[in-house]
């Protein structure tokens, strides 16, 4: 008898040296280091280097890798034209998926799955996905594709281009910390998808396109866009919103997690602190009060805790980032994690080929 575990809950599917979730101590470890710590102490480029190359860069390596990401941010005109040809109302995640797919034939290393070629593709994918995300609004509204400012980091460029100006100084550091918090989270559905695709020895672009498709779903990355709804309300309105939905047995987006069952997601905890500080800086604590109230209410009513997407939605709202770009921003960061998993998978490959417990008819 094969033992069936719905949703593969708790089933180890790979051995990995990339990331683990220490549920007991509520820590996320990336290549031996605490994610919460590196998010506050390093740039996104340094953390991407840690994921792709296996170690934090020294000063020279950091300079070189940051330069490489800046150079690789260029996106071929043909890819710009493909995304511009989509209907204006296309969801940005669909436009991004199409754009990343269209990048593939331009990569000279496309079908080389060696670790060295995969590391080169990883840097290109991180760089170009970020710039595509930053330009999704320009592309879908047929405006000019905006190039990045080479003197600024990757995360700051994305923030500036998505906001289209008006970035205030207080936004830059919290945006980058939150961007890094999204970078890697062990075998999330999108990462597992990317690894399954990589295990057929298909190319890294295909694996990332699959990851993007999985990330869009509201039970995964799409939750941050949906979670923003509640932040339209004041405390009383938010409480009514939650109670009505729970009564109708609907889910409150940004709550619950397959792995963190008995406490707040540690990334959400840090983002909550960033939100509190940011609210103090802008002199308006409504979003913090709403979030804190809903957090307590959900714990009391359902025994559920916020995940990163809940507090990310509040912080992005404070930064006036349009909600439909929340999940693409998540993707622009997570692409570094997916790439690291593709490199690891293809370096020690075993094709994924599980079995199904058959419940259908047997006629003869
Ligand atoms: C993330 C998620 C899919 C994890 O699911 P899970 O741990 O497998 O939990 P289940 O789907 O088995 O749900 C268990 C129970 O909790 C409830 N529940 C789980 N998340 C809930 C939520 N966000 N709001 C309300 N109820 C929720 C379910 O309805 C179910 O209740 P029931 O036993 O009365 O039917 C789930 O919590 C969810 O849908 N959250 C909202 C989407 C989200 O924020 N996703 C981002 C994850 S990082």
pLDDT value for 1: 65
Q: Give the tens place of pLDDT for each residue, 341-350.
A: 999 999 999 9
Domains of the chain, earliest start first? 19-220+328-347 (1.10.580.10), 223-318 (1.10.230.10)
How far apart are the C-alpha atoms of 186 and 338, rounded to whole Å?
10
| CA 254 to ligand 1 center in whole angstroms | 9
What is the mean pLDDT of the segment spanning 74-78?
97
- Check if 255 has its Cβ closer than 6 Å to any atom of ligand 1: yes
| CA 78 to ligand 1 center in whole angstroms | 41
Instruction: Provide the CA 221 distance to its chain's centre, in angstroms.
Output: 7
Best probe residue, ligand 1, of 227, 251, 268 (max atoms within 8 Å of C-beta): 251
How far apart are the C-alpha atoms of 333 and 184, rounded to whole Å?
8
Q: Give the tens place of pLDDT for each residue, 121-150.
A: 999 999 999 999 999 999 999 999 999 999
How far apart are the C-alpha atoms of 33 and 37, rounded to whole Å?
8
Catalytic residue among 137, 203, 265, 309: 309
Q: What's the pTM? A: 0.97
Is residue 55 annotated as a catalytic residue, yes or no?
A: no
Q: Give, using CA atoms, the residue closest to atom 29 of ligand 1.
A: 251
State the alpha helices, DSSP H only, in 141-188.
154-163, 169-181
Query: Which one, of 3, 27, 6, 348, lies nearest residue 186 by Cα?
Result: 27
Query: Which one, of 330, 326, 332, lies nearest residue 132 by Cα?
Result: 332
- For residue 308, give the ligand 1 atom closest to its CA: 48
**First vs last C-alpha separation in the chain:** 21
What is the mean pLDDT of the segment spanning 42-60?
98
| Main-chain phi, psi angles of 80, to 5 degrees | -55, -45
Q: Give the tens place of pLDDT for each residue, 293-336.
A: 999 999 999 999 999 999 999 999 999 999 999 999 999 999 99
What is the mean pLDDT of the segment spanning 237-248?
98
Query: Which one, of 313, 50, 346, 299, lies nearest residue 198 by Cα?
Result: 346
- Check if 223 has its Cβ closer than 6 Å to any atom of ligand 1: yes
- For residue 261, give the ligand 1 atom closest to its CA: 7
Spatial CB neighbours of 103, under 8 Å, sequence gap ≥ 6 = 75, 76, 79, 124, 125, 128, 132, 205
- For residue 245, give the ligand 1 atom closest to its CA: 25
| CA 141 to ligand 1 center in whole angstroms | 35
Question: What average pLDDT does the chain have?
Answer: 97
Q: Give, using CA atoms, the residue closest to atom 3 of ligand 1.
A: 219
What are the DSSP calls for 74-129, one per residue?
---HHHHHHHHTS-TT--HHHHHHHHHHHHGGG-TTTT--SHHHHHHHHHHHHHHH
pLDDT value for 17: 98
Catalytic residue among 185, 257, 265, 341: 257
How far apart are the C-alpha atoms of 276 and 269, rounded to whole Å?
11
- Check if 251 has its Cβ closer than 6 Å to any atom of ligand 1: yes
How far apart are the C-alpha atoms of 195 and 208, rounded to whole Å?
9
- Check if 219 has its Cβ closer than 6 Å to any atom of ligand 1: yes
Best probe residue, ligand 1, of 181, 215, 230, 256 (max atoms within 8 Å of C-beta): 256
What is the mean pLDDT of the segment spanning 6-30?
95
- Check if 304 has its Cβ closer than 6 Å to any atom of ligand 1: yes
Q: Give the tens place of pLDDT for each residue, 88-100.
A: 999 999 999 999 9
Q: Give the tens place of pLDDT for each residue, 261-297.
A: 888 899 999 999 999 999 999 999 999 999 999 999 9
| CA 151 to ligand 1 center in whole angstroms | 43
Query: Which one, of 261, 252, 360, lies nearest residue 297 by Cα?
Result: 252
Q: Identify the residue whose tokens are 């340094």.
A: 46
The number of beta carbons lying within 10 Å of the beta carbon of residue 301 is 12
Q: Identify the residue whose tokens are 């511009």.
A: 84
Is residue 309 annotated as a catalytic residue, yes or no?
A: yes
pLDDT value for 263: 87
How far apart are the C-alpha atoms of 271 and 269, rounded to whole Å?
5
**Is the pLDDT assigned to residue 2 strictly greater than 80?**
no
Q: Give, using CA atoms, the residue closest to atom 10 of ligand 1.
A: 258
Q: 195-215 burial, b for 16+ CB within 10 Å, e for fewer? A: bbbbbeebbbbbbbbbbbebb
Q: Give the tens place of pLDDT for each residue, 185-214.
A: 999 999 999 999 999 999 999 999 999 999
Cα 17 to Cα 35, 54, 136, 174, 325: the distances in Å are 14, 9, 34, 28, 31
| CA 359 to ligand 1 center in whole angstroms | 26
The number of beta carbons lying within 10 Å of the beta carbon of residue 286 is 15
Is residue 149 annotated as a catalytic residue, yes or no?
A: no
The number of beta carbons lying within 10 Å of the beta carbon of residue 155 is 24
Catalytic residue among 220, 285, 292, 293: 220
CB 100 within 8 A of CB 125: yes
How far apart are the C-alpha atoms of 203 and 120, rounded to whole Å?
13
8-state DSSP, 7: G
**Is the pLDDT assigned to residue 165 strictly greater than 90?**
no
How far apart are the C-alpha atoms of 311 and 189, rounded to whole Å?
21
Crossing angle of helices 154-163/169-181, nearest 10°?
A: 120
- Spell out where the chain has E strands: 19-22, 27-30, 33-34
- Check if 253 has its Cβ closer than 6 Å to any atom of ligand 1: yes
């Amino acid at each position: 008898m094969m033992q069936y575990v719905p949703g593969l809950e708790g089933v180890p599917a790979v051995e990995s040296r990339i990331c683990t979730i220490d549920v007991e101590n509520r820590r996320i470890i990336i290549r031996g280091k605490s994610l919460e710590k590196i998010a506050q102490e390093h740039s996104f480029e340094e953390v991407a280097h840690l994921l792709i190359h296996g170690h934090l860069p020294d000063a020279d390596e950091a300079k070189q890798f940051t330069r490489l990401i800046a150079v690789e941010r260029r996106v071929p005109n043909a890819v710009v034209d493909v995304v511009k040809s989509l209907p204006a109302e296309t969801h940005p995640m669909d436009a991004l998926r199409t754009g990343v797919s269209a990048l593939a034939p331009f990569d000279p290393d496309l079908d080389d799955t060696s670790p060295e070629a995969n590391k080169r593709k990883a840097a290109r994918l991180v760089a170009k996905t970020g710039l595509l995300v930053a330009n999704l609004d320009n592309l879908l509204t047929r405006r000019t594709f905006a190039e990045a400012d080479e003197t600024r980091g990757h995360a700051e460029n994305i923030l500036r281009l998505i906001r289209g100006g008006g970035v205030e100084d207080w936004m830059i550091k919290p945006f980058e910390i939150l961007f890094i918090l999204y970078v890697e989270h062990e075998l999330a559905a999108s990462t597992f998808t990317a690894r399954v695709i990589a295990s057929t020895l298909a190319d890294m672009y295909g694996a990332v396109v699959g990851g993007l498709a999985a990330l869009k779903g509201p039970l995964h990355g799409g939750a941050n866009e949906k979670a923003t709804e509640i932040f339209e309300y004041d405390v009383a309105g938010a409480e009514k919103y939650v109670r009505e939905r729970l009564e109708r047995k609907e889910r409150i987006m940004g709550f619950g997690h397959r792995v963190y069952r008995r406490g707040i997601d540690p990334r959400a905890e840090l983002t909550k602190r960033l939100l509190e500080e940011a609210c103090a800086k802008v002199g308006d604590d409504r979003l913090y009060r709403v979030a804190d109230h809903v957090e307590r209410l959900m714990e009391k009513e359902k025994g559920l805790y916020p995940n990163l997407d809940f507090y990310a939605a509040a912080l992005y709202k404070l930064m006036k980032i349009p909600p439909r770009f929340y999940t693409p921003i998540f993707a622009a960061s997570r692409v570094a994690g997916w790439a690291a998993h593709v490199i690891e998978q293809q370096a020690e490959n075993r094709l994924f080929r599980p079995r199904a417990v058959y419940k259908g008819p047997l006629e003869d």
